[in-house]
């Protein structure tokens, strides 16, 4: 009996990817792999809409697709549960999922069980704001690390190296913000820079009509960006400096600074800030302080001495 192997031309036309710089070859030959990568992109779009409950459900579906053996379009469908797929994968590749599966007891780790419980609650009970932080927390602490590990195991490449740089970078920022604010239980805040970045990244793809005039000439939005930035400075008093925005890369982030101390170390930080081009915002809250410290870390470090001097502070 011979087995036919699917080729790229045998498969239905695949949806174009948005957030991947490169794709594994099996994206074109294995339906579960194509589904997994498209689910990862759907998860990112849901995060950009701050629909963290649906994003968590989608993230775990992506993980399940990465573990799926079925290539046969349903003829011999892989009906194993996600729990069983994780157990079987750990048995086949011992130690690769040790953070998620306890091989000594053949049980899933408590972190995975909690994540699945929240997924099931969201799936069967519907949307609730009460689950936002819990779902965001599970995305950052369990679902995304699981996807990263499975991607590395399946393709021999780190997921961050396959994603577009902007998105990969903001996931790293999200992990740092989550770590810094863990006791504050505001995991949704940690995902905001990623949400802003995805919105900024996909806007030309979803709204191309705004980019060309009636003569087919591309529109330059520089003047509009400058006007919006100036408006923030005048109305909201974010008037200390205009910084390069870490989300959209425009020189359009109006910021006001503050200091923890009148003497060194000054503890320079952004008290208020807003971008005139994208949705990036920083408020005078504990979470806003963490966002600013992570997103503008290099700028604050490089310019603290100069800005402190301009405020009249002395070392």
Residue 183 in this model has a pLDDT that exceeds 60: no
For 79-126, what is each residue's pLDDT tens digit? 788 888 888 888 888 888 888 887 666 678 888 888 999 998 888 876
Question: Which pair of tokens denotes residue 244?
Answer: 């390069």
Q: Which residue has the tokens 């998105």?
A: 167
For 144-153, what is each residue's pLDDT tens digit? 999 999 999 9
Structure confidence at residue 6 (pLDDT): 42
Task: Please state, rounded to an integer, the average pLDDT across all residues of the chain.
Answer: 81
Mean pLDDT of 170-175: 90
Structure confidence at residue 298 (pLDDT): 93
Pairwise CA distance, residues 282 & 275, whole Å: 9
Structure confidence at residue 8 (pLDDT): 43
Percent of the chain with pLDDT over 70: 78
Beta bridge partner(s), residue 272: 256
Q: Which residue has the tokens 């400075």?
A: 233
Residue 172 in this model has a pLDDT that exceeds 70: yes
Structure confidence at residue 234 (pLDDT): 65
| Residue 101 parent element (H or E) | strand 101-102
Residue 52 to residues 11, 45, 238, Cα–Cα distance (Å)? 32, 10, 30
Structure confidence at residue 295 (pLDDT): 94
**In this structure, what are the phi and psi dihedrals at residue 20, rounded to the nearest 5 degrees?**
-105, 130
Residue 235 in this model has a pLDDT that exceeds 80: no
CB distance 206 to 16 below 8 Å: no
Centre a 10 Å sphere on the Cβ of residue 208 and count the other Cβ atoms it contains: 9
Mean pLDDT of 265-273: 90
For 276-308, what is each residue's pLDDT tens digit? 888 888 988 888 999 999 999 999 999 999 998
Structure confidence at residue 76 (pLDDT): 64
- For the chain, the residue count is 315
For 1-57, what is each residue's pLDDT tens digit? 334 444 444 444 566 788 999 999 888 888 889 999 999 999 999 999 989 999 999
**What does the DSSP 8-state code read for residue 24?**
-
**60: which residues sit within 8 A by CB, 6+ positions away?**
82, 115, 116, 119, 143
């Amino acid at each position: 009996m011979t087995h036919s192997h699917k080729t790229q031309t045998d498969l239905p036309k695949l949806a174009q990817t948005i957030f991947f710089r490169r794709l594994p070859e099996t994206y074109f030959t294995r339906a579960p792999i194509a589904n997994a990568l498209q689910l990862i992109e759907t998860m990112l779009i849901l995060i950009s809409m701050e629909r963290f409950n649906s994003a968590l459900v989608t993230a775990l579906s992506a993980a399940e697709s990465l573990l799926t053996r079925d290539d046969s379009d349903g003829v011999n469908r892989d009906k194993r549960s996600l729990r069983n797929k994780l157990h079987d994968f750990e048995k086949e590749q011992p130690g690769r999922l040790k953070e998620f599966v306890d091989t000594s007891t053949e049980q899933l780790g408590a972190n995975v069980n909690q994540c699945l419980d929240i997924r099931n609650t969201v799936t069967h009970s519907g949307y609730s704001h009460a689950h936002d932080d819990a779902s965001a927390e599970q995305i950052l602490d369990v679902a995304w690390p699981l996807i990263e590990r499975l991607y590395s195991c399946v393709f021999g490449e780190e997921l961050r190296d396959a994603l577009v740089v902007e998105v990969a970078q903001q996931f790293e920022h999200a992990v740092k913000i989550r770590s810094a604010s863990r006791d504050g239980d505001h995991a949704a805040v940690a995902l905001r820079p990623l949400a802003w970045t995805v919105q900024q990244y996909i806007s030309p793809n979803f709204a191309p009509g705004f980019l060309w005039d009636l003569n087919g000439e591309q529109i330059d939005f520089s003047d509009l960006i400058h006007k919006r930035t100036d408006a923030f400075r005048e109305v909201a008093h974010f008037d200390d400096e205009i910084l390069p925005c870490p989300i959209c890369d425009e020189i359009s982030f109006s910021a006001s600074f503050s200091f923890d101390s009148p003497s060194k170390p000054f503890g320079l930080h952004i008290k208020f800030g807003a971008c005139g081009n994208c949705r990036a915002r920083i408020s005078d809250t504990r979470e806003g302080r963490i966002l600013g410290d992570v997103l503008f870390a290099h700028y604050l470090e490089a310019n603290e001495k100069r800005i402190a001097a301009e405020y009249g502070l002395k070392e």
